Chains A and B, each alone.
Chain A
């Protein structure tokens, strides 16, 4: 079978055992790769009830059949594990060069098991694998870690590592690869830290072959033509990056401000993609095999010297900007670089800090407890707190637990803007209600990427929906969730779907793998993956009572802007959603649903 490297690498850090396994193509056919294949491995191999920091938890790094090919945006890999932030299944996606290099080294996936006694890193080169001592990398930033390991291994090694935050088990630690790309969400970096695994370095020179080379090139050409024709992928994203959304979302009144107390940030224009392009942007940068190129290389001055880095992305401009009331773009960029170096998710970091700021504003945390006044809009404070979180110093130790655990500790969990304890991303669901249902039902806790209904509700793609209506949104959410599950399993970036559709992806997959999928089969696969993740969560004890939103969105109308007066009417959407999912009223998949999807027994 083609498209795949054909092998899985299994490393047990407790025993030091290193094993190669052939990929099971029956499973690959049913789950494709990436998110689907990784979730299946995790589901089969761990007891979902274990603590995420238990050494029986596994860290699965997995690519898709289109990763490392010329398919547009075919450079992604996934990290699948049980999340220490949410207690649900976690699946974080990243681009850059690391995922393709793993495939060039001969592996579709790497499964890390057990726990090392002391800090180590993995060095993988064309089927040769070493577990190496990482004592000298303790508390080193992700950037320093990459530089040191490249010196010790190969100047072209591609590296994924954790920063101090992952070592200190900050519950929203990320894994950073190629210095600036992140498997950002759900604390996957903390699981890596709990295994005493500081980094994974790979280098490979094994090629990837496809099933039908000429057909594949034609499918690539057709997909690229759509990418170059779409205004989003050919103009908006390359010119302004994801930050092009700042002004759009703000004008629609759902740009979360001061911990989601408002949906309009008065100073949004200071931190917009357009402003970034005029000020700190140096150039754009693409991930591997990407014909869009939305990455931002930026430069800011700090203490007299210049600092270069990547980002900030739209979500981070919210997390480190509007959500904490900061409108200084240079400070946001600096905070973003820091998050990458320390290995922290900027969305959760910003949203946790903003929650603490609201608690302070309301008098629920005093200055003595926090050690310093937590005022919205204080950029220096933001940067200090991020440093403190990254090393769990002072009040940072409390913030490092995430917004929910922090707010609960002070007695106000309702002020934590989280679903299943994961912080929301940059869209207030009161201004686009499909997002409300999407956040409430996402299998990794609040997530904007699992069903991006912003596309129809705000951007009008593929058609314009009334963002405040709830009728029919359950169909959109289910459709997007299932489709995204497929895209996340191929190795493509979700941004490709602004331009290419299911038929394009089907053509790419079939010519690459030879699986000869039909479009019905692909739809079923998406639904299968979604239900498998759901089953994992149900075995962790999750059910309908967890498929909810913070009370703020259900009860407090937005005070101003284009979405003024709106709340999310969640229950009716949720009822209809369960019904079309074939789940019972408690959100448990019915037996006939599981049978239809090949998941029973």
Chain B
């Protein structure tokens, strides 16, 4: 299985370095509006989460694209954009349920995460490892462990 981005919101500090690193990788400038990853900061709820393309198996963006600009690259595990084919119709931005297909008015085309073709800048810069790029899903392992430890505490409490 190809590696993918694993996001643990509990580790995110809302620094938005991922947005800067991404826009710099893609456009050579620091500009959150040109980033493929976007930090959602819910200040009141103290909840922060980087939102990025999940490279869906059943990708609605791909299905809806009338010019076959989006295809699946199984080797890299991405939904790949062929920019020359993109007509800028923006159907994919409407179809994507996560809001992570972006339109560039300058180019008249969309842009999206391609996992930096195997070395994602966001995961490299993330200071707290809230974003990790790996094959095995450690987030799930960690969740199971935390859940088990809670169970253990409750179990011991009952036994007292």
Contact = CB atoms under 8 A, between A and B. Distances in A.
A289 interface: yes
For the residues of A in contact with B, the DSSP-based class is loop
A269 to B, nearest CB: 26
Given A207-B31, A207-B34, A297-B46, A290 B15 contact: yes
Contact of A289 (B10, B20, B28, B33): B20
A178 B10 CA distance: 21
A70 B17 contact: yes
Interface string B80-106: 000000000000000000000000000
A284 interface: yes
A539 interface: no
Interface string B1-33: 000000000100111110011011001111111
Interface string B21-57: 1011001111111100000000111101000000000
A287 B29 contact: no
B108 interface: no
A293 B16 CA distance: 11
Contacts, number: 77
B13 A68 contact: no
Contacts of A297: 46
Interface residues of B, number: 26
Contacts of B31: 104, 205-208
Nearest to A512: B30
Interface residues of A, number: 35
B24 A213 contact: yes
B44 A69 contact: no
B66 interface: no
A239 to B, nearest CB: 12
Contacts of A289: 15-17, 20
Contacts of A68: 30
Interface in A444-501: none
Given A70-B17, A70-B20, A209-B29, A291 B44 contact: no
Interface string A171-200: 000000011100000000000000000000
Interface string B108-144: 0000000000000000010110000000000000000
Interface of A: 68-70, 97, 104, 178-180, 204-210, 213, 217, 224, 228, 282-293, 295, 297, 299, 308
26 contacts: A69-B20, A69-B30, A70-B20, A70-B24, A70-B125, A97-B16, A104-B32, A104-B33, A204-B33, A207-B27, A208-B29, A208-B31, A209-B30, A213-B24, A217-B24, A283-B10, A283-B13, A284-B13, A285-B48, A286-B15, A287-B15, A289-B17, A290-B15, A291-B15, A293-B13, A293-B15
